[in-house]
Structure 1
Amino acid sequence: MKEFAASPVTAAAEPKTIPPFAVISGAQVQQVLQGREKQVVELVEQTYRVHAAGDSVNPPSYFLRFPDRPTSRIIALPASVGGQVDVDGIKWVSSFPDNVASGIPRASAVLILNDRATGYPFACMESSIISASRTAASAAAAANWLSRGRGRPRRIGFFGVGLIARYIHTFLNATDWSFDEIGVFDLSGESAEGFKGYLERSGTRARVTVHDGPEQLIRSSDLVVFATVAGEPHVHDTTWFAHNPLVLHVSLRDLAPEILLASTNILDDVNHCLKAGTSAHLVEQMVGHRDFVDGTLVDVMEGRVSPADDRPVVFSPFGLGVLDLAVGKYVYDELASSGQLRVVEDFFSELRRYG
């Protein structure tokens, strides 16, 4: 008699349970992350290593754009990360720059965490704070690793002064950075003055200067942070970088190709950074190869790449979904262990296959 293998439907399977579904507010996220900047930086570094080792899935981000609102977009970042994080999920983040004129933040986001055993989502959390935190942690990690052998910069300049810039300053401050001078420039003079006020309230001992233009800011800074909403390069003059600063190119589209070609280029993920019209992507399209990329941050962390100090060093982080998942899972675990999860009872109500 012919034997047949048991089908997946009839074969015995390990029992599975549906996890409770929780909603986590921005206030709870902030409560968990505030004061734990060092732990978040360490988590981000660990997640970069897990991703580099191949224990993750991080497909291309999907950009939802609107013909009637060309400056706005909503981005989907699906991902899966193994290691100690061990979670799947997706971030859904919007960027509506016109919000700023109405006095509300440009970006808003939610993060969904999915159980790896059942696929069921088990948390929905406010994610603009998670996004800002993982971005700032990535920037702080890069500043630390890329300044080794060059000496820590004492003069920092912020080009663009929104939420991301504030979080980067907070994370640098929390990871034992200090500065003699802090420069500020923004197309909005009001925003620049507001950021100066924040810096002074933060207790910094640095001299804070609001610059009239970008050249003055860049030439007077050894560490330059780009955190703008620029959609295409607007900084072209390579001579502005003749003093070989360390550049955290967080907003990805500020620098013209000629500046990157004259610099050491460190990315967080090569394939992701060379997409979506980033400055690095424009360089690849112009020269037809990727030889201008010197390596990734993990390459630097593991000693495979040592940036020289005789040219600018530019760090371009695309911002990986695996980082959002890692920070989001950290928040979830902290709230769960302290009994503060707000579970939505009966969120999943249709649970019987045949009714």
Structure 2
Amino acid sequence: MAVLFFSGRAVEEAVSPHEAYDAVRAAFVAHHRGEWTMPPKVYVTNYPAGDFRAMPALGGGHALLKWVTSFPGNPARGLPTVTGLVLLSDAETGQLEAVLDAAAVTALRTAAAAVVAADVLARPGSSSVAVVGCGVNGAETARMLVARGQRPLVWDVDPARREAVAGRLGAEVASSAAEALGCDVVVTVTPGTTVLFPEGSLADGQHVSLMGADGPGKAEVAIGELRRARLFCDDWEQASHGGELAAGVEAGLVGRDDVTDVGAVLAGDADGRASAREITLFDSTGLAIQDLAIASAALAKAGELDLPTIAL
């Protein structure tokens, strides 16, 4: 049996930022309605080095398994933080249809989730947007914002990296971290080891998509700031155990009734922002249904690409 293989470049060629946005938005709604299903991701940890994650999902005629790593110290070794594979199968026959580079799929779905959440939760009339963290996923988020007609500020602790991303994508380098973190809309895509928003720092009316704290012990916002904000997440089961909200849950500050799934807002079954002054926080832990959305969109374009195959 021959199985299609999508390299990282092939994934990017197959799925444009606009297509990724639409696919992930639709997947959020399908998951909320129970049309697409997934169990919470499984972590196999080797801290402090990093962790391995197994993520299955079912929907749209396909089944998916993503085996992916997160090793934050890898860039210092000249290695990528995220590596792995996505396996996409036919849900009716069980036959493997395609193998995809997990890093490229992850970057597209992370960017799409961040921007979808910002679009539905940000204050109307928000005029400034920033991406903090210019690694692979942060750069993809900036690329998606640019593709959607915005010119984001970008910031990274590495001056060369932020300059390179801004120059390549047509974004603008923020004058400081404070300028980026003070924008109306902020997407944080960092390793999650440093709190970016200390207590009292979030501004009235601000929206932040928190994309980096996707595992135990990680945080991009101080726990006290959770009390000041309206809270949203991609999936409560994951977020309450391994996301930005987990510390608040453990401390008894955050419960299920305090958090709204963004899929419910997109489906029209829950309210989003209640006022212009309200602070909104979106906690993203990364969902297998998002990966399924990107992988399915890529497979639909297979006939337009010259893809290699793997003989099994």
Same fold (TM over 0.5): yes
Checking the alignment, whether the CA contact within 8 Å between 1:196 and 1:210 is kept in structure 2 is: no
2:37 match: 57
Offset, 1:129: 0.7
Q: Is contact 1:21-1:343 (8 Å) kept?
A: yes
Map residues 132-281 of structure 1 onto 2, 5 A cutoff.
Answer: 132-147=107-122, 150-179=123-152, 182-186=153-157, 191-204=158-171, 206=172, 208-211=173-176, 214-215=177-178, 217-218=180-181, 220-231=182-193, 234-235=195-196, 237-252=198-213, 253-276=219-242, 278-281=243-246
Whether contact under 8 Å (1:183, 1:221) holds in the other structure is no
Secondary structure in structure 2 of the residue aligned to 1:56: coil
**How big is each residue's C-alpha offset from its partner over 1:184-235, in whole Å with a ceiling of 9 and x where there is no partner?**
242xxxx23321232134234x5x3242xx55542x321122111125x624
RMSD, aligned α-carbons: 2.2
Correspondence for 2:247 among 275, 282, 286? 282
**1:156-208, Cα deviation, whole Å (9 max, x unpaired):** 333322111101111111122235xx25242xxxx23321232134234x5x3
**One-letter identity of the residue aligned with 1:178:** R
Q: CA, structure 1 residues 241+79, in 2 after alignment: closer, same or farther (shift >3 Å)?
A: same
User: Percent identity over the alignment?
Assistant: 22
1:127 to 102, 117, 131: 102
- Listed as ranges, the gaps of 5+ residues in structure 1 are 1-18, 348-355
Distance 2:39 2:168 in 1: 41
Secondary structure at 1:242 match in 2: coil
1:152 deviates by 4.1
Match of 2:4 in 1: 22
How much has 1:137 moved relative to structure 2?
A: 0.8
Distance 1:171 1:236, change over 3 A: closer
Contact 2:200 2:225 (C-alpha < 8 Å) held by counterparts: no
Q: Distance in 2 between matches of 1:152 and 1:64?
A: 43
The residue matched to 1:107 in structure 2 has which SS?
A: coil
Mapped contact 1:230–1:251 kept (Cα < 8 A): yes
Residue 342 of structure 1: aligned partner: 308
> CA separation in 2, counterparts of 1:77 and 1:41?
20
* Structure 2: 5+ residue stretches without partners: 214-218
Task: Kindly tell me the number of residue pairs found equivalent between the two proteins.
Answer: 304
What is the match of residue 48 of structure 2? 70
Is the 1:185–1:217 contact (alpha carbons within 8 Å) kept by the matching residues of 2?
no
Q: What SS is found at the alignment partner of 2:293?
A: helix
| 8 Å Cα contact 1:272-1:318 kept in structure 2 | yes
TM-score (norm 2): 0.89
Q: How far apart are the structure 1 equivalents of 2:154 and 2:135? A: 14
User: Which structure's relative contact order is higher, taking Cα pairs within 8 Å and 6+ residues apart?
Assistant: 2
Q: Tell me, in whole angstroms, the C-alpha distance in 2 between the residues paired with 1:121 and 1:309.
A: 48
The answer on 1:300 being equivalent to 2:280 is no
Please report the TM-score for the alignment, with normalisation by the length of structure 1: 0.79
